[in-house]
Structure 1
């Protein structure tokens, strides 16, 4: 994402409009030029790269766009490392301690470097040259780090990332966000809910799979002093949202007036027709090898019961539960299957709390015998679900027995 000083937004009334680049000939040529600049800088220091970028920037009025594109390339596609035969901090301690004993001059500097080189040669039992001491002194400064690898994106991908970053920057000062995830494939919901949890967003969820969900997220300025820390977490969630097929959101923002330096309210809306492209990977087919193995074994089983993956969502107050599988019989019977093989106490407590609050009589829990439920504070006497115990692998025959 872009830092605040590289964001380009304009305001029309209360509406915030972020800068978005068209993927036309001019912008694609600019992207190619920047990518080539980074590609040619591999093996050079970051300081050299920065100077080349300044030359490319020139005195043009679109310098902020160029800096934004360069920032994305540098932060997302580059690997910089300290390249020095000697540890820089150790060198500085020894050089500074020795140089403090003499008056600063070119002669004394050279004498100091030579003495340190001789001492290190003796200690390491290999030749250390004065020039190596000189070059290693500040090798760990950012400007002296070496660009050792550049995973060049395509020009289109760079522009897509820039446009997404500008939109993400809108949410740095969000005070509230309301998201409507319309009726979608349930697996898309699960991916979204995972990212909400990953970025520790305080969300209240209402709705169901048939009609969709409304997710209300409190922003940073609704709870604390104006800060971008929580807003960054909201911004990081946006690329995950792009994997959901149908959605819309509205947000209330706190922006600072350029002339009066006072805070004022802004608004921003976005929907699934926005044309933004996510760089987050789509959700995995299965959460674990355990689930994948069970599904593979079920496919080879001759049964009238059809196994479906994450196609049902169970709404519970303020949240939602997405069982791993649904089992459907031709006669109309259906059951939900949740595999509990993860051991963390917090996860187990939350999972069984969800099961109790869901109050479903069509739920089957497959629980690993390796889990220490007692230590996690989980009791099964009041769990409204059928329970199957398994050891290393969940066998389809055990689930069939519970179904029948």
Structure 2
């Protein structure tokens, strides 16, 4: 991600609001610079990071747009791989052996009887290396000595400029004290990335549909490791772009010392996420269930619609996202959540049971594989309905249970 020095010049202030001056991705001059940098960077393959920095410095020269150029370069480097030289001996051992000779000089004299070349030859013999290998390994563990082995994505100028704008946008969150987001879809991916980046949150359902999520920012009084947490919050932002409907409002304290400022974005933004969406289904069991429902029930034959992961159960500091929601086409308020429990891993099963007990949801139907190490006793005390199946759920039995639950919870269905 971009450093604050590369972000601050792009901040724009309007009263109590702050925004980012993003670059025009269609600007021919910007595209030309991006193309030149991509070519320059790719020409550095198998060379050291120090060599790349020297090449970049030469390219920047006396340019006045050096902030922009170095920002693009930072994006390239962050997505590339620099690796240390393969070494028969660790650089630490080589240095310790070399330095044991004390100060050495190009030529020996009475006070320094061993020249530098002599010390290199002696160390090489002791470590069974060549003098050239000793020379190369002395400081091979410095990042400047790492070699560019992978230049990252197959960049185009447009891709690089789009990613640069994204890095600018999320960099503002380094200075956030609080972040509020509203989402109306793709809950699974949002929570996957909230968990991945270990963000603290409070979630609320909205009367208009969807959810509001409150996130503590890196300069919140409740956050200890400010720098690390700030990077995690900034890293999370592209997850929002995977949603079709979203809003974001952050309270930020930019380093220019203007106090609390408002930083807002929503789904009308042109920013693009480099995160990948999750697959439609997490398992073959879920895919087969959806396919069988479509084949045997479907919207034409049945009175129920099957939606994929479209509701949350908020459980304090975590959430449960049921696999499906059955919605009665006759009355959309008649909804039955469905969770398939067919994964055998003990930790998964333990967490699943904990969430089921915490949710204690009366309109949740659990379809449980009999081969698991669970019984009806494990679900005692929960108000959810449990239906065991030997190989796969029988759709006729599932729909009968759904109808019975809806009758009990919502009363008779409309005619």
After TM superposition, is the score higher than 0.5?
yes
In structure 1, the residue matched to 2:4 is 4
Aligned 1:115-134 pairs, distance under 5 A: 115-121=122-128, 128-134=129-135
Aligned 1:128-143 pairs, distance under 5 A: 128-143=129-144
In structure 1, the residue matched to 2:213 is 215
Which is worse superposed, 225-234 or 131-140? 225-234
Structure 1 residues 48, 288: closer, same or farther in 2, change over 3 A?
A: same
TM-score by length of 1: 0.83
Which is worse superposed, 108-117 or 221-230? 221-230
Assess if the C-alpha contact under 8 Å between 1:209 and 1:312 holds in 2: no
In structure 1, the residue matched to 2:406 is none
Assess if the C-alpha contact under 8 Å between 2:187 and 2:310 holds in 1: no
Q: Within 2, Cα distance between the matches of 1:104 and 1:9?
A: 52
Assess if the C-alpha contact under 8 Å between 2:19 and 2:263 holds in 1: yes
Per-residue CA deviations over 1:22-44 (Å, capped at 9, x if unaligned) read 01111111110000001111121
In structure 1, the residue matched to 2:397 is 401
Structure 1 residues 90, 189: closer, same or farther in 2, change over 3 A?
A: same
> Residue 75 in 1 paired to residue 78 in 2?
yes
Which is worse superposed, 302-311 or 276-285? 302-311
Assess if the C-alpha contact under 8 Å between 2:367 and 2:389 holds in 1: no
> Residue 31 in 1 paired to residue 34 in 2?
yes
Structure 1 residues 373, 255: closer, same or farther in 2, change over 3 A?
A: farther
Per-residue CA deviations over 1:320-377 (Å, capped at 9, x if unaligned) read 6432123468888864320233532762354214530x332x5234256434689xxx
Per-residue CA deviations over 1:231-255 (Å, capped at 9, x if unaligned) read 2222222101011112222111123
Q: Within 1, Cα distance between the matches of 2:92 and 2:389?
A: 55
Assess if the C-alpha contact under 8 Å between 2:34 and 2:157 holds in 1: yes
Q: Within 2, Cα distance between the matches of 1:28 and 1:350?
A: 53
Assess if the C-alpha contact under 8 Å between 1:84 and 1:136 holds in 2: no
In structure 2, the residue matched to 1:344 is 347
Aligned 1:3-402 pairs, distance under 5 A: 3-7=3-7, 8-23=10-25, 24-76=27-79, 78-87=80-89, 88-97=91-100, 99-100=101-102, 104-107=105-108, 108-121=115-128, 128-151=129-152, 152-181=154-183, 184=184, 186=185, 188-208=186-206, 211-223=209-221, 224=223, 227-257=226-256, 264-295=259-290, 308-310=306-308, 312-316=310-314, 321-327=320-326, 335-340=336-341, 341=343, 343-344=346-347, 347-356=351-360, 358-360=361-363, 363-367=365-369, 369-371=371-373, 379-389=378-388, 395-397=392-394, 399-402=395-398
Assess if the C-alpha contact under 8 Å between 1:386 and 1:402 holds in 2: no
Assess if the C-alpha contact under 8 Å between 1:91 and 1:137 holds in 2: yes
Q: Within 1, Cα distance between the matches of 2:319 and 2:131?
A: 65
Q: CA deviation at 1:298?
A: 5.4
Q: Within 2, Cα distance between the matches of 1:316 and 1:120?
A: 61
Which is worse superposed, 240-249 or 280-289? 280-289
Structure 1 residues 85, 200: closer, same or farther in 2, change over 3 A?
A: closer
Structure 1 residues 103, 2: closer, same or farther in 2, change over 3 A?
A: closer
Q: Within 2, Cα distance between the matches of 1:3 and 1:189?
A: 30
Assess if the C-alpha contact under 8 Å between 2:305 and 2:328 holds in 1: no
Assess if the C-alpha contact under 8 Å between 1:176 and 1:252 holds in 2: yes
Q: Within 2, Cα distance between the matches of 1:228 and 1:373?
A: 47
**Secondary structure of residue in 1 paired with 2:249:** strand
Mark the runs of 5 or more structure 2 residues left unpaired by the alignment: 109-114, 401-415
Structure 1 residues 92, 316: closer, same or farther in 2, change over 3 A?
A: closer
Assess if the C-alpha contact under 8 Å between 2:313 and 2:359 holds in 1: no
Assess if the C-alpha contact under 8 Å between 1:43 and 1:148 holds in 2: yes
CA RMSD of aligned residues (A): 3.0
In structure 1, the residue matched to 2:403 is none
Q: Within 2, Cα distance between the matches of 1:65 and 1:368?
A: 60
Q: CA deviation at 1:287?
A: 2.0
Per-residue CA deviations over 1:122-166 (Å, capped at 9, x if unaligned) read xxxxxx321111112112211111112213311111111110111
How many equivalent pairs are there?
A: 379
**Secondary structure of residue in 1 paired with 2:254:** strand
Structure 1 residues 268, 344: closer, same or farther in 2, change over 3 A?
A: same
Q: Within 2, Cα distance between the matches of 1:103 and 1:48?
A: 27
Q: CA deviation at 1:52?
A: 0.7
Q: Within 1, Cα distance between the matches of 2:197 and 2:88?
A: 39
Q: Within 1, Cα distance between the matches of 2:166 and 2:36?
A: 21
Q: CA deviation at 1:290?
A: 3.8
